Amino acid sequence: MTITRFAPSPTGTPESVHLGFVIRALWSYAWAKKNNGKFILRIEDTDQVRSRKDTETAIIDILSDFGIKYDELFRQSDRIARYQEVARKLAEIGAAYYDFDSEKRTKEEIKSSYSHAIKKEDNEEVAEEFMKLKEKPQARKFADKFKSENNWQEYLKLCDEKIKNGESFVIRPMIPYSGKVSWEDVILKKKVEFDFKEIQDLVLLKSDGFPTYHLAVVVDDSDMQVTDVMRGFEWLSTTPIHLFLYDSLNLTRPNFWHFPVIMDPRTGKKFSKRDLEGMFGVMPWLKSGYLKEALLNYLMLLGWAPKAIKNEAGVDVYPEIFNLEEFVKQFDVDGIQKANPTFDQKKIDWFQGVYIRKLTIEELKSEIKNYVTKFEPENIDLFTPSVSQNRDIKIFDEKLKLLQERTTLLQDFVEELKLFETNPDYTKLNLKEIKGLENKDKAWFEKYLQIIEKDILDFSLSKEDWVAKVKKVAEENGDKAQDIFMLLRVILWGKQFSPPFPETMWLIGEEKCKERVKQFKMLPL
Ligand code: GLU
């Protein structure tokens, strides 16, 4: 049975849960489900200092929001005894050794094996320290001596005594001095090979008895019978340590999938840490009112492409719209691209548009309501209680229908729904920047404000007749009708872009339109 897992470390802030997490969870989920297998969520919270409960909750909530359901949930902090048992076993079989000295070295090293800080841009200081660690620790040489003399039991006895005397220690793997280690990477679609001499004896069990990632990940993936380890590319260089442990313990190696890195279009490099909490974070996207389905659909295709299908004209086309269920069916290894994909906001906006226009009014209403409840509770009045009367509900639905033609973000829907109710704020309006109005003088505005008030706000006409009337007024005065429409838009909506006219005007209603003209007249023009 195919078993995959998503194994996030809840170490940043809840805002730092980024879209990369969702992709990893999504692909791992899809691979398991496509093969009728099992998908595990494993919270890797052994970093006692940096792990946060609120971030763990955010991760669980985000998965549930996106509909990515796990079959089982584990927390590494519940399994400490098991890691200690395996670390001891590794020492017993001569695949690991005790290191009782070098407190400082151990500390720095643990830091670097935790963060992805082997990379310089993340943490220069730690990265440099890490580079100095090429030399094997003294303790390794000590262990080597016993091993070469075939005296391992004696070594273990000596170590036991020290432990009994309360000396603090860490456990490190006895990475071979020479030879190679390799695996076929599923995503890279090639054999990846490392020389053992490039690999450090990174700590497996810390002096506080907690495991590092390297030990915990192998113990868990093996205990949980994970068949496919799907994870970020940044872990590629530590895979040799993991393979060494699998082989030493005689465990079956899983398949390894190392995901491509997502590139920042602005720099052409991977996203910086700051962006992970900003542009690339999940929360900001949801807060701006992107639909989860649209985001998810975008993420499915960030680095993966479905097989082409022939359209009626026999031309190859690539389907783009997938829901989770369809994605699970279609997802395959062949479609994974080797090149690092670049993040593309325009494409997300395109998906958002497609998904918003597909919604029925009832669905749209419920999306907006959920959005408001979560992010703008102060605006919940939009949905209560005036809409409880039938007539109002109808008008509310008409407003939504009108907005749905052009508006895409839930945040903007809320703002625009409010604009029907509350008069616009003209303080930020700069008439000199509005096309068609930029050259008009005071006299022009005064003339048309009068005409609008007296003649144009005529709700007794049909909408067609009304449009004809505005055109006629413009012609009689030697002006362009579109300038008058622009003026109306600015007065009634407070912006140069609005939902379609005159429908918008009718939905604002006669009384409010009149109020808005009055208010506009008070502005110093
Ligand atoms: N806790 C690791 C991370 O968040 C998991 C890596 C893995 O999937 O093995 O990157």
Closest ligand 1 atom to residue 230 Cα is 8
Element (H, E) at 228: strand 228-232
Query: Alpha helix (H) ranges present in 2-132?
Result: 19-34, 53-65, 80-92, 103-114, 124-131
Dist. CA 261 → ligand 1 center (Å) = 14
Contacts of 31 (CB under 8 A, 6+ apart): 2, 4, 37, 228, 230, 331
Per residue in 258-275, pLDDT tens?
988 889 888 888 887 667
For ligand 1, atom 8, name the residue with the nearest CA.
Answer: 231
Dist. CA 40 → ligand 1 center (Å) = 13
Q: How far apart are CA 257 and CA 188, in angstroms?
A: 8
Predicted confidence at residue 122, as pLDDT, reads: 44
Q: Which residues line ligand 1 (CB under 6 A)?
A: 7-9, 44, 217, 231-232, 235
Amino acid identity, residue 23? I
Q: How far apart are CA 392 and CA 202, in angstroms?
A: 67
Predicted confidence at residue 121, as pLDDT, reads: 45
Q: Considering just the CA atoms, what is the radius of gyration of the chain in Å?
A: 32
Amino acid identity, residue 291? L
Per residue in 75-95, pLDDT tens?
999 999 999 999 999 999 999
For ligand 1, atom 10, name the residue with the nearest CA.
Answer: 8
Closest ligand 1 atom to residue 24 Cα is 8
Query: What counts of helices (H) and strands (E) characterise the chain?
Result: 22, 11
Q: To test ligand 1's pocket by mutation, which of 213, 218, 255 has the most ligand atoms within 8 angstroms of CB? A: 213
Find how far residue 18's CA is from the centre of its chain.
Answer: 3
Dist. CA 21 → ligand 1 center (Å) = 10
Predicted confidence at residue 513, as pLDDT, reads: 96
Dist. CA 248 → ligand 1 center (Å) = 22
For ligand 1, atom 7, name the residue with the nearest CA.
Answer: 231
Low-confidence stretches of the chain (pLDDT < 70) are 102-134, 273-274, 276-278, 384-391
Do 488 and 501 touch, CB atoms closer than 8 A?
A: yes
Residue 502: is the preceding peptide bond cis (ω within 30°)? Answer: yes
For ligand 1, atom 3, name the residue with the nearest CA.
Answer: 8
Closest ligand 1 atom to residue 221 Cα is 9
Dist. CA 125 → ligand 1 center (Å) = 23
Predicted confidence at residue 266, as pLDDT, reads: 87
Q: How far apart are CA 446 and CA 509, in angstroms?
A: 23
Per residue in 91-144, pLDDT tens?
999 999 999 975 655 555 555 554 443 444 444 444 454 555 567 888 999 999
Q: How far apart are CA 64 and CA 306, in angstroms?
A: 25
Predicted confidence at residue 134, as pLDDT, reads: 63
Closest ligand 1 atom to residue 5 Cα is 8
Contacts of 392 (CB under 8 A, 6+ apart): 386
Quote the tokens at residue 262.
């997502």
For ligand 1, atom 9, name the residue with the nearest CA.
Answer: 231
Phi, psi of 509 (to 5 degrees): 95, 155
Average pLDDT score over the chain? 90
Dist. CA 26 → ligand 1 center (Å) = 14
Q: How far apart are CA 366 and CA 107, in angstroms?
A: 51
